[in-house]
Structure 1
Amino acid sequence: MDADLPPLTEALVQDVVYAWCYRAKHEITVPNCGAVWGPEADVASMTKARLGHAFEIKISRADWLAELRHIRGDCRCHDGRHRCAKFARAETLADAKARAEETARMAEAGSNCCGLVPPSYFWMVTAPGIVKEGELPEFAGLMEIEPYRHGIVRAHGYMPREVRPAPRLHRVKLLDSQLLAMARGVTLRYWQHGRAA
C-alpha cells in the first residue's frame, strides 16, 4: 500500500463499498446490517429494483480462510444459519442459483424457515491478493480495494476494482420487512453518529 494512505480497515472499506453503491444508484446502503438476511452483512445494499447485494469484507488472509471454511461447511461452528448457508457446498453456479431461487420464492410465499429473501448478489470485498485463484465460490463476486489510480469511484484514496462481477442468483425482490430492516439500520447509524459527535 502507498505510505501516505490510511491502512485498510473494515470501516474504510465500507466507505469504499458505499461509494461504489452510490455510483451504481442503489437506493439504500447500510453498514453492519444484521436484520436483512439474518446474520450480519458488513454492507447491505438494495437497488431500485429491490434486489439485494450483500458485501462481506475480508482484510486479512486468515479472515478469508475462516470465511471459506464457513462457506464450504467445513467449520465446527457451522450451524446452518451462516450468511452463506443457502449456497454452501453448491457444486456449480447453476446449483447455487437454484437454491437461492427456491429459498427466495419460498420467502415470497411466506413458507421458508427464516422468512427472508436471500441476497440476489453476494460479494467478497478484500485487499488485493487475499483470495487466491480457485478459492472464490462460483456464487460470489470479488471486489478488491486498491489505491486510487483512475476511475470514477474513490474514497479515502482507495478505489474498488471488480475482479469478478457477482452473478445474479435470483430476481425476487426484497420483502417489505427486509426494506424496513434496512431503514431501521440507517436510523440506528444516524442516531449512533449523533451521540458520538
Structure 2
Amino acid sequence: MSEHRLQNAIYQFFHGKRHPITIPNCGACGVGKADLLSVTKAHLVHEVEIKHTVADFHRDFEEKTYKHHALANQKGYRTANYFWFGVPEDLIEPDDVPDYAGLLYVNEAGGVDEIISAPRIHSKKLRERDRAYIERGLTLRYWNTRLT
C-alpha cells in the first residue's frame, strides 16, 4: 500500500473527527517533516508517522532517536500533542508500539481502525504563528498545483 493511499485513508479518519486542518508531508510545528499532520479545533496537533514495512518501522527508531526520546520523555513544546503510527493492517503488532504512540491500521478498502489510542503527550496548544505557517503552506501548495 502506497504512502499516498495511507495518507488519504488517515485524512478521512481525521476528517471524520472534524479536524479542520490535515496536511501530508508537513514540516511545520517543529516536528521535523511529518508524514501527516492534523490539527484539532482546539489547536492540538496529531502527527502520524506512516510506515510501509516492518523494517521501515524499526529503522525509524534508529534514525530518529532524538525525536523518539523527546516523545517518550514528554519533553518540549516542539513535539505533537499526539503521535501515531499509521500502517497497513496487521503490519506491526500492537506490542511493538511504544507507550507514547497510537496505532492506526489501514485496510485494503481504505478503512482505518484505531488499534491503540494515542495518549496526550502534552497540553500546549499550537502557536498562532505555527498555524499561520501551515495555512500559508497549504495556500502555496494549492496555487503551485493549480498554476502548473
Is this a same-fold pair by TM over 0.5? yes
Counterpart in 2 of 1:126? 87
1:59 and 1:86 mapped to 2: Cα distance? 24
Q: Give the match's secondary structure for 2:124.
A: coil
Counterpart in 1 of 2:124? 172
User: Are 2:47 and 1:86 aligned?
Assistant: no
Q: Which amino acid aligns with 2:28?
A: A
Please give the TM-score of this superposition, normalised by the length of structure 1: 0.69
Q: Which has more strand, going by share of residues? A: 2
1:134 and 1:144 mapped to 2: Cα distance? 14
Counterpart in 2 of 1:141? 102
Please give the TM-score of this superposition, normalised by the length of structure 2: 0.90
* Structural mapping, 1:29-68, within 5 Å: 29-68=22-61
CA RMSD of aligned residues (A): 1.8
1:159 and 1:54 mapped to 2: Cα distance? 19
Q: Which amino acid aligns with 1:86?
A: A
Identity %: 31
Contact residue 64 and residue 130 of structure 1 kept, 8 A: no
List structure 1 runs of 4+ shifted beyond 4 angstroms: none
Post-superposition Cα deviations, 1:59-99, rounded to whole Å, max 9, x if no partner, equal 1112111113245x3xxxxxx3x4x3412xx3xxxxx3xx3
Post-superposition Cα deviations, 1:130-154, rounded to whole Å, max 9, x if no partner, equal 223532110000001003xxxxxxx
Contact residue 94 and residue 115 of structure 2 kept, 8 A: no
2:117 and 2:9 mapped to 1: Cα distance? 16
Post-superposition Cα deviations, 1:87-129, rounded to whole Å, max 9, x if no partner, equal 2xx3xxxxx3xx34xx22xxxxxxxxxxx3x211000000122
Say which of 2, 10, 21 aligns to 1:17.
10
Q: Which has more helix, going by share of residues? A: 2
Counterpart in 1 of 2:112? 160
Bigger relative contact order (CA 8 A; separation at least 6): 1
User: Are 2:144 and 1:183 aligned?
Assistant: no
